[in-house]
Chain A
Amino acid sequence: MIISVKDGFKLIGVSVVFFCAAFVCTFMLSYYMDVVSLKDVVSDQFSALYDAQVAMSKFVSVLTGGVLVLIAVIMLVFYIKLYVDSHSKQLGVLKALGFSNAKLAAGFCAFGLSALVGCSLGFACGYSATPFIYESMTIEGMPEVAVTFHYELLLGIVVAPTALFAGIAYGFAYLKLKIPVMHLIKGKESKIRLSGREDKERDFLTEVFFKTLSSKKLLTFFFAFSAFCFSAMVQMGLSMGDLSSEIMGTVILVIGLVLAAVTAFMSVTSLVNANVKTVSLMKTFGYTARERFFSVLGGFIPFAFIGFGIGAAYQYGLLQLMVNVVFADVAEVPAYEFDMPVFFITLGVFVISYAALLALYSLKLSKISVKEVMLEN
């Protein structure tokens, strides 16, 4: 079959996102369910604090879980699109040989594996982490929350997403496969529009710059998203320690770093891979390494900074919301203000790590030669 188990496992990026979502949701929902069952035991004196804890756990799991699942869906669709585009010839030949769309699309269910792997690992780790999380959230004077295993969580966090994702992969692949056989075989190039906005007198480098940007719009989103995760979650993680528990803060920080790294690598890699031909030709003709780098990657860098800015504003809004709404009735919670030092530290680390990533890829770009493109044919 055209999709192998191996291809399913290649979607490590998607798996990582699923892992993060499952991890957070497992212990937060588990905490929520366990703490809810204590309702009758809690004395009046603690009820406000108790309510806040319940609300907070619900808030965090819905928020992180929801956002992460959304991102995973986008990434999955993105991967399938990439996969169909790069295998369109093969798929077209199979279709010409008489394989039905349904049969070919069924192979794409293997993509659901990435959800299975990520969610099971996330669930297992999340469940193992619960005792520590519970301990860190214990409030003096309140009864201890006991860890219980909830089968419905296993169902909701592992089984349902896997089935859902296999379904999405199938449906999306089915839609993509509906293009006529010849278009598949000839590949993307056959459906290039005649009426491109090409008439502006631009020099070659500018033209490549804008064409790369406009042909990879989804990637601008991922560049921004990666920086968004980094900015929002690192800052939130650092400020969260005071508001909630150290462990919660650390978890958010680590998840933010992982998500940012995965999406950044994913987006830069697919950008570089999509432009191997352009870059190798430019090298053959004598364009400098700098010109090659900026015409292909340069347009995406501003989006990373936009994402960073939105992330900073987002985490500020979110923490304000948490302080003002969730903890509204609790007297001891400190007021939350925008943390300038944390912002600048985060920005500094971001700029440095981003520059390192780009330097790495610019080295990779500079090594690409036309020989590799020729050997592929």
Chain B
Amino acid sequence: MLKCKDIIKSYNGHRVLNGVSLDISKGEFVVILGASGSGKSTLLSVLSGLERADGGAVECGGANLSELNDSQLTAFRRDKIGFIFQQYYLLSHLSVQNNVKMGADLVGNKDYVKIIEAVGLGDKLKSRPPQLSGGEQQRVCIARALAKNPEILFLDEPTGALDEKTGREVLDYIIKFKAERGITVIMVTHNENIAETAETVVRMNSGKIVETRKNAKPKTAYEIGW
């Protein structure tokens, strides 16, 4: 489904990704662990076609991302990708509903209210993000990403700004939707416990993958420590 080989990426001569290779199959739940600055976010943006690698190849569903031009890359993101960030990045001047429409409109999804209800925010359709708690905002982000029916969901430290209780709630929603919809999920975190919920755990250090392991029996969001 999503494969990358020997990815190299530098900023201003500073090498951030130094030969990263991954092979992720459809419906897999991958957690990428690593210290701050180890290149996790950069890897996500290369895998999702937001940035181009300096070397190596990214292949997704038969398409080689480095061979696509900018508008083909845009179309690729529109059709395949969902993104969730640590800092939410909701548009604060738009209502919850319109934030979710940002995802839904791209694919002509008229059922977006159902998704908002599914993340437990059916009564907050007209609220603005600044009026919501952190956990609620992150749930809006989940709805926004799911509303475009992505095949692959990228999450960059989705629980990094949340406390334990809301963190578990958000993680629980992610695991639930992954199972329901069979989406491929690639999640970055530096919380070692969260890795236990994944099927595959990848550890990064200084722009390299230093460990890859499988969890025989992934735990739920409420079984792990925090």
Contact = CB atoms under 8 A, between A and B. Distances in A.
A61 to B, nearest CB: 44
What class of interface size applies to chain A in its complex with B?
Answer: 20 to 34
A190 B130 contact: yes
Interface string B69-112: 01100111111010101010101111100100111111000000
A287 interface: yes
A285 B91 contact: no
B148 interface: yes
B105 A204 contact: yes
A282 interface: yes
Contact of B128 (A196, A281, A289, A373): A196
Contacts of B75: 286
B138 interface: no
Nearest to B95: A198
B71 A289 contact: yes
B195 to A, nearest CB: 22
B89 A285 contact: no
A282 B48 CA distance: 14
B181 interface: no
A316 to B, nearest CB: 40
Contacts of A369: 45, 50-51
B126 interface: yes
A281 B92 CA distance: 13
Contacts, number: 94
Contact of A374 (B87, B92, B128): B87
Interface string A183-221: 000100110101010110001110110010001000000
A109 to B, nearest CB: 32
A36 to B, nearest CB: 56
A194 B126 CA distance: 9
A288 B126 CA distance: 27
Contacts of B94: 198, 207-208, 211
Contact of A286 (B93, B98, B106): B106
B189 interface: no
22 contacts: A189-B129, A190-B130, A194-B131, A196-B128, A198-B94, A198-B95, A204-B102, A204-B105, A207-B101, A215-B93, A281-B89, A285-B78, A285-B81, A285-B83, A285-B106, A286-B148, A287-B74, A369-B45, A371-B42, A371-B45, A371-B51, A374-B41
List the 7 closest pairs (A to B, CB-CB), nearest first. A286-B78, A286-B77, A189-B130, A204-B101, A204-B105, A189-B92, A204-B102
Interface of B: 41-42, 45, 48, 50-51, 70-71, 74-79, 81, 83, 85, 87, 89, 91-95, 98, 101-106, 126, 128-131, 148, 156
